[in-house]
Amino acid sequence: MNAAELLGGASDHLGYFAKAAEAAKAPLAITAAPLPGVLPPVLSGRYKLEGLLGAGGMGMVYRARDLLAEQHGEPEPMVAVKLLRDDVAECPDGAALLYSEYALTRHLPHPGVVRVHGFEVDAASQQAFFSMQLLRGMPLDRLLCEQPLGLAWGELRGIALGLLEVLAFAHGRGVLHGDIKPSNLILGEHGVQLFDFGLGQAMDGVLEGLAKLSRQRISAWTPAYAAPELLDGAPLSPASDLFAAACVIYELAGGKQPFGRDGAQAMHAQHAEQPLERPANLPKNVWPALRQALALDPAARQAGARELQQALAAPRLSLLRRWFGQPQGHLADRESPHVQPQQ
């Protein structure tokens, strides 16, 4: 399904946006006109585009030079600029979707979330865009290519805890990401960072008035990381974000996705469900908590991101400590369903 099908044609207007009641009373002030075939080399007289960094189903991200910042002596004038694809931008209110992503990201001031700078519309092309921090590091999908058997626990632990810290913060601020996967995470000098909130949305009562995609008409999830209820038409939830994060952690630990490339829903439909095996690089004491986060039934994912983070932070006990620290008769290597967080 391409971006035009996700958003609808010009005659659909806001048909694929579920807007808050007040915002629905008036048209959006920002609209995107059809684009010329070639982007201007400089957007808004300030951002000089220097190369394409990546493209997805609805947007494109360019490396750009902030000429204004450079003129005033900024030693690091490079930024990233996100624009809509041509077919999306041609929709009358396509810019509303881009602004929604910008607003959700701006609502999350955290070092583990990409930092956005500003939302603008280029006067010459009428192209909406927003500028943001140029992330430097290794995307986790590339890391997995270089480590096909997964990461050792000592390397994985910090990445997993960082991801869950960011997710817990986002949920605490009322923001759902909706598309957590290795290609939307980058490992830099100061840890893991999450970006691309294009499929995200705010929880009820948060940032009311933002345009939202109609979840009944969109099918842009990545099956290998999408919670099965999303593919069945259920709304985004903290539990669906947690499932995706758990899939990423599982893959980092063993080099393969827990339910294969087609995901949990396809496995269930084919009646090919098999008990998940603990990845060899994952300590036994944290496996019960991760396995619970991978439950196909969202009601079974009882813990949140913070609780899973605490479980993964639990110290790995030595054989002697496990043996002498347990009640008499308790098997030292038995997997306990109770995981105590680190104090």
Enclosing H/E stretch for 23: helix 21-24
Tokens for 189, please give them. Answer: 């000098």
- Residue ranges of the annotated binding site for ATP are 82
- Give the helix ranges, DSSP H, for 232-333: 238-254, 263-269, 287-293, 305-312, 319-324
- Please, which contacts does 195-199 make with residues 24 or more away whose CB atoms are closer than 8 Å? 195/105, 195/113, 195/114, 195/132, 195/135, 196/56, 196/101, 197/101, 197/104, 197/105, 198/56, 198/58, 198/59, 198/97, 198/101
Enclosing H/E stretch for 244: helix 238-254
- Catalytic residue set: 179
User: What is the greatest pairwise CA distance in the chain?
Assistant: 77
Contacts for 80 with CB less than 8 Å, ≥ 6 apart: 53, 61, 62, 63, 64, 131, 132, 133, 134, 135
CB atoms < 10 A from the CB of 214, how many?
Answer: 14
Tokens for 30, please give them. Answer: 């920002």
State the virtual CA torsion across 231, 143, 158, 279 in degrees, nearest 10. 60
d(CA 57, CA 183): 13
d(CA 91, CA 287): 46
Nearest to 46 by CA among 16, 14, 81: 81
Distance of CA 100 to the CA centre of its chain: 15
| Beta partners for residue 139, in sequence order | 186
Neighbouring C-alpha atoms within 13 Å toward the C-beta of 152:
2
